[in-house]
Amino acid sequence: MSTEPDWPEGVARHVLGQTDSTMSEASRLAPHLAGPAWVFAHRQTAGRGRRGRGWQMPAGNFAATCVFRPAVSPPTAALYSFVAALALYDALDSVAPGADLAIKWPNDVLLAGGKVAGILLESVSSGASVSHLAVGIGVNLAAAPPVTALEPGALRPVSVLGETAQVIAPLDFLPPLACAFARHAKLFERDGFAPIRAAWLARAARIGQRVTARTGTETREGIFETIDETGALILNTGGARQPIAAADIFF
């Protein structure tokens, strides 16, 4: 039996019926933070994903953002992407035990080989430190968005309901996610990236297999060997090991 609390101590919770996006709401809330806070919305009218892409939210799906003030540099703040992926993986595993889960670099959580969720980080820096960090998480609990807007080679979208038959109310998913995030964040802040890296690699999709990495200017193919201490993907291309800090990965 788990001894994890129902809600992490010292973390605020804001539950909204509707907002433009939980990320935007978190940014508006950030200057007034007394401590970490989660912003949850039953409906978003202008959700967004990475690289300015839209994030569709059919009814019954999950959208929330954790906003806080980490006492770290911007490069270190970016590693919370891996913290968030681990938290989301663990939360999904807790509500859908036995589900076929994996993490696609850097932070897409997969279910049965399809994309079930997305994570977006946005931060505001002040000099060499981060004034606040917002970690937005969207999960296809009830329905997957249509595939019409996907780029060629992108993973098919899936839902928890469609793949596991588990019915999970969006607000009920917030406590296990918030608790898992708090647990992994505490580990990261206490022991650094090494244990987060190890836990992430244990859950990673396609380690040791061929992948394609696309940036805005080039496409590279190779064997996904590992991630390094900065979170960069290490791609073996014909014997040369190349670190890739940012790219879209295709299987």
Model pLDDT for residues 32-46, shown as the tens digit of each residue: 999 999 999 999 887
Q: What is the pLDDT of residues 121-176, one digit of tens each?
A: 999 887 788 999 999 999 999 999 877 756 666 789 999 999 999 999 999 999 99
Higher per-residue confidence, 109 vs 149:
109
| 152 Cβ contact partners less than 8 Å away, ≥ 6 residues apart | none
Q: How confident is the model at residue 49 (pLDDT cuts 50, 70, 90)?
A: low
The whole-number pLDDT of residue 45 equals 87
How much of the chain, in percent, has pLDDT values that exceed 70? 91
**8 A C-beta contact, residue 146 and residue 57:** no
| 70 Cβ contact partners less than 8 Å away, ≥ 6 residues apart | 76, 77, 80, 130, 133, 189
The whole-number pLDDT of residue 47 equals 65
The number of beta carbons lying within 10 Å of the beta carbon of residue 43 is 14
pTM to 2 decimal places = 0.93
**8 A C-beta contact, residue 47 and residue 56:** yes
The whole-number pLDDT of residue 11 equals 97
Q: How confident is the model at residue 2 (pLDDT cuts 50, 70, 90)?
A: very low
Q: Which of 195, 171, 172, 173 is closest to 183 using CA atoms?
A: 195
| 209 Cβ contact partners less than 8 Å away, ≥ 6 residues apart | 223, 224, 251
Supply φ then ψ for residue 66, to 5 degrees. -100, 125
Strands 114-115 and 233-237: unpaired
Residue type at position 125: S
Checking if the pLDDT of 4 tops 80, the result is no
Q: What is the pLDDT of residues 202-242, one digit of tens each?
A: 999 999 999 999 988 889 999 999 999 999 999 999 889 99
The whole-number pLDDT of residue 223 equals 96
CA–CA separation, 117 and 88 (whole Å): 9
Q: What DSSP state is assigned to residue 57?
A: -
| 203 Cβ contact partners less than 8 Å away, ≥ 6 residues apart | 85, 86, 89, 101, 102, 103
Residue burial 170-180, b: 16+ Cβ < 10 Å; e: rest: beebbbbbbbb
How many C-alpha atoms does 134 have within 13 Å on its Cβ side? 24
Q: HEC states along 178-214?
A: HHHHHHHHHHHHHHCHHHHHHHHHHCECCCCCEEEEE
